Amino acid sequence: MTVEQSIAGIRRALAESPRPVGFVPTMGALHAGHARLIEVARDQSQTVVVSIFVNPLQFDQAADYEQYQRSLDTDAALAENNGAHLVFAPTAAEIYPGPAKTFVEVPGLTGHFCGASRPGHFRGVATIVAKLFHIVQPDLALFGEKDAQQLAVIHAMVRDLNFPITVVPVPTVREPDGLALSSRNSRLRPAERRIAVRLYQALARAQQLIGAGERDARKIRQEAGALLLQPAIAVDYFDLANPKTMLPASDATPPVLIMGAIRIGQTRLIDNVLCQA
Amino acid sequence: MTVEQSIAGIRRALAESPRPVGFVPTMGALHAGHARLIEVARDQSQTVVVSIFVNPLQFDQAADYEQYQRSLDTDAALAENNGAHLVFAPTAAEIYPGPAKTFVEVPGLTGHFCGASRPGHFRGVATIVAKLFHIVQPDLALFGEKDAQQLAVIHAMVRDLNFPITVVPVPTVREPDGLALSSRNSRLRPAERRIAVRLYQALARAQQLIGAGERDARKIRQEAGALLLQPAIAVDYFDLANPKTMLPASDATPPVLIMGAIRIGQTRLIDNVLCQA
């Protein structure tokens, strides 16, 4: 496996690599959720590229950007062990040689949920993903379902801008107790980690209520959301959404997405569960 | 030469065409300026693709969109006679099957000049060009220098988003009296046509003043702009600009762009001249 740090280098390496090319864009701090993305990419492509780039443009909080874990050597080892052929790990100066003047925006999908809580976040995500798509020119790109709104944004961007790329969603990988894997979990102290599972429990409770026939989003939010009423938890949002439009849903008729974002101490966690039709 | 109307069709045709691919995006109503773009494309590529699509997203005035000339048969003939191999002429429904959710924006370059006069115009231009780039996947794309701010926007977009495409600017083609060729010239009545050349004359006068050492943009605007003081001409802007930043320049030290936009009756005309360092 090769680690390339320059755009010219990764393009050269890719020119000699067999297609189809599967692409897993990451911000590093790789865990078993990323390993699953790489495995799925390997099953569906001849060449697997993993990018590792902590994108300053998508952080609304400078402190969050600074604190974001950097661990290239262990990340590269995890990528290799799971079947990646190329790692693209550029510096910020390689990706943003000057101030960014051009932005990709999906305003219709980003007015609620994380889009409302994190101004500019999805503009940063869409812009860096468009850049990486043009650098890597993959046939498929894999994204985790944990970031449901991000996935909807990428789907819309690829469809609306006619990127010649297939977006492959990959189910969320969870700890045995249900907590969704996230690079941010490593920041949780033991007591915080114990309480973090409440987010998944609340989503699962909502799913259960919908499965039992409840259709009133307000009631579901209230009953399932009660599991988040903990002094250590600050709820950013806990709501039902139309999975296509990313607008809040008042009627819980499937398909409906249950989405939550909470803060425990300094750590922000998100998760979601889809109730399929 | 083949005319393709579907995205699938043009992609199939391109898969069998030799590279490099040169791409000339147009809104049809082709004239000798477009012919020059196609000629330059033919000199630099093995396959020349001309797209003909009147993009509703870049019109700030519905009437202007409706009135924009459609003439596919004569356009296809002109493209063929000048060496195009493929024409891509999709319907609006093929390009925008649903409401557009995703936009490409270059806000820093579009706050003045046509960007200020035509809200949303350059967002529409950048978005359709990104779409066409993903559909055609050219190696080179050719744009006329007459649309200087558009060219700056496309240059920035390609560089900032890492499109694997070389942008080739092509000098403006002019009538013998200096009027820049434009599809909109055909809307001018004879008396309007006679006066339209004043725009080029004002730009040329400004260029002359700068060549003679004048550096005060205000004086240049005043003296050269006097040529536009005609009852039949409404000046949208007549100004000096930094060709890279597309910000107004108060100091005329080259390189400096002299840009003008006027209305004569219902017809809006733009033109520019670059004073090189």
Model confidence pLDDT, tens digit, residues B50-64: 999 999 999 988 888
DSSP class of A50: E
Give the Cβ contact number of residue A72 at 10 Å: 13
Query: Distance between CA atoms of B102 and B121, rounded to whole angstroms?
Result: 15
For residue A196, is pLDDT > 90?
A: yes
Given pLDDT bands bounded at 50, 70 and 90, which one contains residue A186?
very high
**Taking the model in full, what pTM does it have?**
0.96
Contact (Cβ atoms closer than 8 angstroms) between residue B273 and residue B258: yes
CB B151, CB B143: distance < 8 Å: yes
Give B59-123 as a 3 state SS string. Answer: CCCHHHHHHCCCCHHHHHHHHHHCCCCEEECCCHHHHCCCCCCCEEECHHHCCCCHHHHCCCHHH
Q: How far is CA A235 from CA A65, A138, A184, A272, in A?
A: 21, 37, 16, 14
* CATH class of residue range A183-270: alpha beta
CB contacts, 8 Å: B7 with chain A: 162
Q: Residue B164: its chain A contacts at CB < 8 A?
A: 11, 134, 137
pLDDT digits (tens, 9 = 90+) for B77-98: 999 999 999 999 999 999 999 9
Q: Residue A189 — very low, low, confident or very high, per pLDDT cuts 50/70/90?
A: very high
- Angstrom distance (rounded) from CA A181 to CA B172: 56
Predicted local confidence at residue B67, as pLDDT: 85
d(CA A236, CA A261): 5
Q: What is the DSSP letter of B151?
A: H
Rg (CA), chain B: 19
- Partners of B168 in the β-ladder: B142
Total residues found in chain A within this entry: 277
Nearest alpha-carbon partner for B257 in B120, B109, B158: B109
- Catalytic residue from among B34, B85, B112, B121: B34
Give dist(CA A22, CA A37) in Å, integer.
10
In contact, A27 and A183? CB cutoff 8 Å: yes
Nearest to A55 by CA among A65, A43, A44: A65
Residue B2 pLDDT more than 90?
A: yes
Radius of gyration of chain A (CA): 19
In this structure, what is the dihedral angle of CA atoms B54, B60, B61, B66, given to the nearest 10 degrees?
10
Closest CA to B202 of B223, B177, B181: B223
| Pairing label, strands B21-26, B47-52 | parallel
Residue of A104, A127, A137 to mutate when probing chain B, most B C-beta within 10 A:
A104
Q: Residue A20: is the preceding peptide bond cis (ω within 30°)?
A: yes
pLDDT digits (tens, 9 = 90+) for A227-263: 999 999 999 999 999 999 999 999 999 999 999 999 9
Mean pLDDT, chain B, whole residue set: 97
Per-residue pLDDT, B61: 87
A162 touches chain B (CB under 8 A): yes
Q: Which residues contact B72 (CB under 8 A, 6 or more apart)?
A: B3, B28, B52, B89
Q: Within the 190-209 window of chain A, which residues sit less than 8 Å (CB to CB) from chain B?
A: none
Q: Is A34 a catalytic residue?
A: yes
Tokens 């503009």 locate to: A123
Which of A10, A12, A96, A103 to probe by mutation at the B interface, max B CB count within 10 Å?
Answer: A103
What's the CATH code, domain A2-170?
3.40.50.620
Name the segment(s) of chain A with CATH classification 3.40.50.620. 2-170
| Side-chain-facing half-sphere of B158: CA atoms under 13 Å | 21
Contact between A144 and A120 under an 8 Å Cβ cutoff? The reply is no
Instruction: Return the percentage of chain B with pLDDT > 90, whole number.
Output: 95
pLDDT reading at A86 higher than 90: yes
SS3 label, residue A267: strand
Contacts of A273 (CB under 8 A, 6+ apart): A203, A204, A206, A207, A257, A258
Among the partner-chain residues B11, B102, B107, the one whose CB lies closest to the CB of A157 is: B102
With H, G, I as helix, E, B as strand and everything else as coil, classify residue B30. Answer: coil
Domain(s) of CATH 3.30.1300.10: residues in chain B: 183-271
The nearest alpha carbon in chain B to A11 belongs to: B164
- A127:B161 CB<8 A: yes
Which residues, including other chains, have CB under 8 Å from residue A208's CB and lie 6 or more apart? none
CB atoms within 10 A of CB A149: 26
Average pLDDT along chain A: 97
Confirm if A47 and A85 have CB atoms less than 8 A apart: yes
pLDDT at A68 over 90: no
CATH architecture of the region B183-271: 2-Layer Sandwich (3.30)
Q: Cα(A188)–Cα(A69) distance, rounded to whole angstroms?
A: 13
* CA–CA min distance B247, chain A (Å): 14
Task: Work out the burial of residue B190: count CB atoms within 10 Å of its CB; fewer than 13 is exposed, 13-18 middle, 19 or more buried.
Answer: exposed
pLDDT band for A67, please (50, 70, 90 cuts): confident
- pLDDT number for residue B202: 98
Determine what percent of chain A is predicted with pLDDT higher than 70: 100
pLDDT at A206: 98
CATH 3.30.1300.10 domain locations along chain A: 183-270
Judge whether residue B272 has pLDDT over 90. Answer: yes
Residue A17 to residue A3: CA distance in whole angstroms = 14
Contact B260, B237 (CB under 8 A): yes
pLDDT of residue B100: 86
For residue B70, the model assigns a pLDDT of 85
In a 13 Å sphere around the CA of B4, the CA atoms on its Cβ side amount to 20
Q: How far is B137 from chain A (nearest CA, A)?
A: 9
Question: Is there a contact between A85 and A20 (Cβ–Cβ < 8 Å)?
Answer: no
- Residues with Cβ within 8 Å of B10's Cβ and at least 6 positions away in sequence, in order, are B4, B49, B86, B88, B135, B136
Mean pLDDT of all residues in B10-14: 98
pLDDT for the residue numbered B68 = 85
Is the model's pLDDT at A64 over the cut of 90? no
Confidence grade of residue A69 (pLDDT, cut at 50, 70, 90):
confident
Residue A210 in contact with residue A221, Cβ under 8 Å? Answer: no
User: Do B156 and A100 lie within an 8 Å CB cutoff?
Assistant: no
